[in-house]
Chain A
Amino acid sequence: MNAEAPAQHSFLSGTPLRILVGLILVVNGMFPALWILFTSLKTEAELTAKPITWLPHAPTIANYLRAFTDQPLLLFLFNSFMVAILSTALTLFISVLAAYALARLQLRARDLILSAIIAVSTFPLVSLLVPLFEIMRALNLLNTWVALILPYTVLSLPVCTLILVSFFEGIPRDLENSAMIDGCTRIGALFKVVVPLSAPGVFTAGILAFVNAWDEFLLALSFNSNPMLRTLPVGITLYQGEFAFPWPVISAALVVGIVPVAVLIVIFQERVVSGLTSGGIKG
């Protein structure tokens, strides 16, 4: 890791303070997740007991069993995962290309294009819902993964492009030029030099695109009514009843749905980022 800058935080390098800081971060980020975890182990009656309990009194895994049997949870996860991965890949590919053009090439219309790309994300999705539905129906794409992949890519395109633009601009041109002298094409230089050096940016853009796709509810509800294609956010609302909201079962489904993904990303990030920047020129 090149920029942990221990020199900057010399007074914090003392272990107790670092542990405290770490604890603050972990509690802040994980508290609701931990709460969901505990709730998933409680019975419904315990939720409305007073005074409220934090840790479950009689932990039960019945909710997890129900989470898998009440609804096809694994199917929801599979659909969400495929749609998210594919749209993330597409988003990254398209934004890397577009960001490179905007960062490196002196385009007169650069600002205009940037504004146009940002403008795209300013329309509330709910207003575009019906026309998009009509388009998907006209293209015969309803009840397919593609119906979601295309809009999700557009959803994340602006933020990913902008992040990549700011990262690409921070990389000195000499690096690409020396690669091209060594026999690389322009586009080759892009993928062999610029992208690896912007690994943190590419990775962040990737996570954002993935999570945007993972979270989306409205389009997934409207385009893919086929039960075999339901994604996680839509699927989780199916545990609800008209009036009932079974927190314990839904918590179990949430735990199954979210934690593995987050853990996978963290592991992936360690490998990817350190792997790509370790051989870098910076630092």
Chain B
Amino acid sequence: MSKSTTRIWLLAGAVFSLTASAAMAQQTNLRVFVSSQHRPDVWRKAFDMYEAKNPNVKVTIETGGNTSESQAQYLNTVMTAKDTSLDVMILDVIRPAQYAAAGWTVPFNDVLGSDAEAAMKRYLPAYAEANTVDNKVVALPAFADAMFLYYRKDLLEKHGVKPPTTWEELTAAARKVMDAEKDPNLQGLSFQGKAIEGAVCTFLLPYWSMGKNLVSNGKLSFDKDAAVKSFKLWKDFVDQGVAKKNIAEVATDDTRKEFQAGNVLFAVNWSYAWGQFQGGESAVKEKVGVVKLPAVAGGQPASCLGGWEWGVSAYSNNKTEAQKFVQYLSSPETSEFMAINAALLPAFADKYTDADVTKAVPWFAEAKPVVETAKARPVTPRYNEVSEIIRTSVNAVLAGTTTPEQAADQMEGRLRRVLR
């Protein structure tokens, strides 16, 4: 080849490879870790819509582990090893503080604009609290959840009892109905006593209702009297026969199954139970009402905040794109889409009463007041230790191996060691 021909080929080759790599460089691959429990098929549609609007972004889903715990186990391993394969991850609402402290997430403050606080105000207030650590927004809400008081509409109507607003009223209502029905299989109240994450909510519900906060700004504010009263409230249900003796064996789904079989009058559970109760195999279809959790006498009703959040991995190679993507996923439009197509509770207050949403999932309108009373569990990097302390204490009190006073003492000692 002559020199000039060579040069032309070289030039062509250079131009070609430049444009090719430019095109490729523009293509971003985002890998998203989604829980297989929360309708990844519907999230996939939301991802497709984003891809359509952003042709240079391709989103792949990774799912792993079916429970919050096994997902955390997997993510913890991957993040501790500083793996770069994940860009976006869905996190249980209790995890953002821990992940932020470990340096595993990228804050959103710069992309949210100068007024991050205002941006967070669009969501339900509890989510702003759950996702903000040290004034940094570490994750954005994917969808919401809260604990509800489910009750048997038919049985309450039959005995002329109104849905209770305080725990005392609940006890009275339960006693009245149980004495009248004389069904040995009917439980007055079912809640979580097993040493699972839900037991943390069990302890905190009355505690919050008394107006106390266990942890504020990462610091412990332990009110011993309130703690003892909280333990006593649940223990009394067992002692008075309103809750069954082996409540310490009961996990979230046990409550759901037993209510669904028609054996429970009042049940404390998350939103997933509603769909099950209205399902084909349910013995209580059309007979279920939902209401705010009762308050302690003279207190405010409080529910336990659930739901999941989107975070961006600090080891991701596509942080900016990932942050943009998460903002889309956490937008009111996506929230409405997920509510209609996957029955996931929105993190935006106005979406609950949106016309399209209520057409698809009518009960969301009833759910709204309950979700608005929900409070976030302690937002601290050492949440897992706090959770362990609280749930083992609840379990011990309900099993009868510790008294409420002993449990409160031990709990305070252990919490102080962790939270200083």
Contact = CB atoms under 8 A, between A and B. Distances in A.
Interface of A: 44-45, 48, 50, 129-130, 133-134, 137, 221-222, 225, 227, 237-245
B208 interface: no
A244 B279 CA distance: 15
Contact of A48 (B35, B70, B261, B270): B261
Interface-central residue, A129, A134, A238, by most chain B CB under 10 Å: A238
B260 to A, nearest CB: 9
19 contacts: A133-B78, A134-B81, A137-B81, A137-B83, A221-B64, A221-B70, A222-B74, A237-B66, A237-B70, A238-B66, A240-B66, A240-B67, A241-B66, A242-B35, A242-B68, A242-B272, A243-B252, A244-B253, A244-B256
Given A48-B261, A133-B81, A221-B74, A242 B65 contact: no
Contacts of A133: 77-78, 81, 83
B185 A50 contact: yes
A248 B68 CA distance: 22
B37 to A, nearest CB: 5
Contacts, number: 60
Contacts of A225: 62, 64, 74
B5 interface: no
A242 B78 CA distance: 21
Interface in B25-50: 35-37
Contacts of B35: 242
Interface of B: 35-37, 62-68, 70, 73-74, 77-78, 80-81, 83, 185, 251-253, 256-258, 261, 270, 272, 281
B87 to A, nearest CB: 14
A130 B66 contact: no
B77 A242 contact: no
Nearest to A245: B253
A269 B184 CA distance: 53
B62 to A, nearest CB: 6
B261 A222 contact: no
Contacts of B65: 221, 237-238
Contacts of B257: 44, 48
A268 B74 CA distance: 37
Contacts of A222: 73-74, 77-78
A243 to B, nearest CB: 4
A44 B261 CA distance: 10
A181 B257 CA distance: 73
Contacts of A245: 253
Given A133-B81, A241-B253, A243-B252, 6 more contacts: A44-B281, A221-B70, A225-B64, A238-B66, A243-B272, A244-B253
Contacts of A45: 261, 281
A242 B67 contact: yes
B36 to A, nearest CB: 7
Contacts of B77: 129-130, 133, 222
A133 to B, nearest CB: 5
Contacts of A221: 64-65, 70, 73-74
B68 to A, nearest CB: 6
Nearest to B283: A45
Nearest to B62: A225
A218 to B, nearest CB: 8
Given A48-B261, A238-B36, A243 B66 contact: no
Q: Which 10 A-B pairs have the closest CB atoms?
A: A243-B252, A243-B253, A222-B77, A242-B37, A133-B81, A240-B66, A244-B253, A130-B80, A225-B64, A134-B81
Nearest to B71: A242
Contacts of A243: 251-253, 256, 270, 272
A190 to B, nearest CB: 40
B323 to A, nearest CB: 23
Interface-central residue, B65, B81, B253, by most chain A CB under 10 Å: B81
A134 B68 CA distance: 24
A60 to B, nearest CB: 13
Nearest to A217: B70
Nearest to A223: B77
B279 to A, nearest CB: 11
A95 B341 CA distance: 56
A130 B77 CA distance: 6
A140 B251 CA distance: 41
A137 B252 CA distance: 37
A130 B80 CA distance: 7
Contacts of A48: 257-258, 261
Nearest to B281: A45
